[in-house]
Amino acid sequence: MSQSIQISAATRPAPRVMAPTVAGFLVGVQAALLSWILVVTPVVAAFTATSGQEFNAGLSWADAARFGSDLWVLGHFGWTVIGSDALQAVVTISPLGIPLVSALACAALTRVTSARGWPLISGGVMGFLVVDAFVAYVLADRARPSAWLALIGGAGAAAIGLLRANRPHNGELLGGWRTGLVDHVPAELRFAFRGAATAAGLVLVSAFALVVALAVGGWSQFGDLFGALGPGVVGGIALAGLCLALLPNLVAWAVAYVAGPGFAVGAGTEFSAFATQGGVEPALPLLGLLPATKPPAFAVAVVAVPVLAGLVAGWRLRRRLDTVWWRALIAAALASLAAAAALAALVALAGGAGGPGRLAEVGAPFWPLAGWLWLELGVGAAVGALVGRHGSRRPGVAAG
């Protein structure tokens, strides 16, 4: 007579829990591979679909995969070389959609794990760097000298995604240090960073709205350029993916547009609310959205966008910060400075060299743009801080 052995819930062994560092490492590896696959697959598919064309003579799918890897390295703020040996040009414009995908992949994969904290974040960055280094030093070809830049950019993208997914627990990362730091930081500085986030966010939203308006108005031009290239179905998917990867760059350039100085797509070109001077541009359908005619007189009104963003940020600062007016002005100045620096840095990351000759100058320079933004945001923030309701909605936030 056989006896069955029953194991109660109390005596059943607990399932093994993966170490947070290992879980983070796997998240980083998977996120990097997913980002790389999303870039390389359309490139290889487009090559396969056009393998019989004359311009693909002598090339293999491995060459297409290496080109896709070069593009992936370029997307993480490396650089690559295009053209033949006789006529080569360095491309340093990073499609900002690629690191954005890497950060979103890290954030999404982190949410499906139960681990949190520094072990997860450090493991995730290390996992991403392992794949990043393999792609940059082994698979990539012409972008290999800039592999170290791609490692820095990849680590930054992975860290942003991991920290974003870990946001509910970010306060626990510093432990007891966080309370001490917050207690010793002046209230003006604490709320200045919140005001900077508000101002920068409003400017970015306005820039995105401008890009949407350009897309609606220039959709026919975009379609004509897309059709003129005759990419086919698979090539069209790859070309559309490249345009999507460069869309955040266009939003960043729109920030320079609403600030006033504008941006350039090639030496001698200018796109701003004050003037439009086009020139020779690469055959990329996304650039068909750029205005081709002189802006109307009312277009100058867009430079009021940073002023209004600063006004809202300063008004919110004064409502949260219970202090004398001159200290509120200091907080407004710090907030506008931080927002201007962040926005100008984003525009600088979106620019660079796009090819040979005139295309070596694309985007907007950092310092003039930062100065314009600080002036516009600062004026608005100062007005908002002075006219905002005196008093705090929360007890205990008054500056000492």
Interatomic CA distance for residues 282 and 226, integer angstroms = 12
367 in the same domain as 282: yes
320 in the same domain as 197: yes
User: Of 136, 157, 180, which residue is a domain's last?
Assistant: 180
Residue 256 lies in a domain: yes
User: Angle, nearest 10°, between helix axes 325-350 and 304-320?
Assistant: 140
Residue 374 lies in a domain: yes
Q: Which helix (H) or strand (E) holds 379?
A: helix 366-387
198 in the same domain as 172: no
- Which residues of the chain carry a pLDDT beneath 70? 1-18, 50-58, 84-86, 168-185, 187, 231, 233, 279-283, 322-323, 388-400
How, if at all, do strands 270-271 and 276-277 pair? antiparallel
321 in the same domain as 303: yes
Residue 56 lies in a domain: yes
381 in the same domain as 237: yes
Residue 140 lies in a domain: yes
Residue 43 lies in a domain: yes
Residue 299 lies in a domain: yes
89 in the same domain as 24: yes
Domain hosting residue 35, numbered range: 20-180
145 in the same domain as 72: yes
Residue 189 lies in a domain: yes
Closest CA to 162 of 97, 118, 114: 118
**pLDDT score at 185:** 65
399 in the same domain as 332: yes
319 in the same domain as 306: yes
199 in the same domain as 68: no
Contacts of 87 (CB under 8 A, 6+ apart): 356
175 in the same domain as 282: no
195 in the same domain as 327: yes
CA angle (321 as vertex; 316, 324 as ends), nearest 5 = 115
Domain count, the chain: 2
User: Of 114, 149, 180, which residue is a domain's last?
Assistant: 180
Residue 192 lies in a domain: yes
Q: Which helix (H) or strand (E) holds 225?
A: helix 219-229
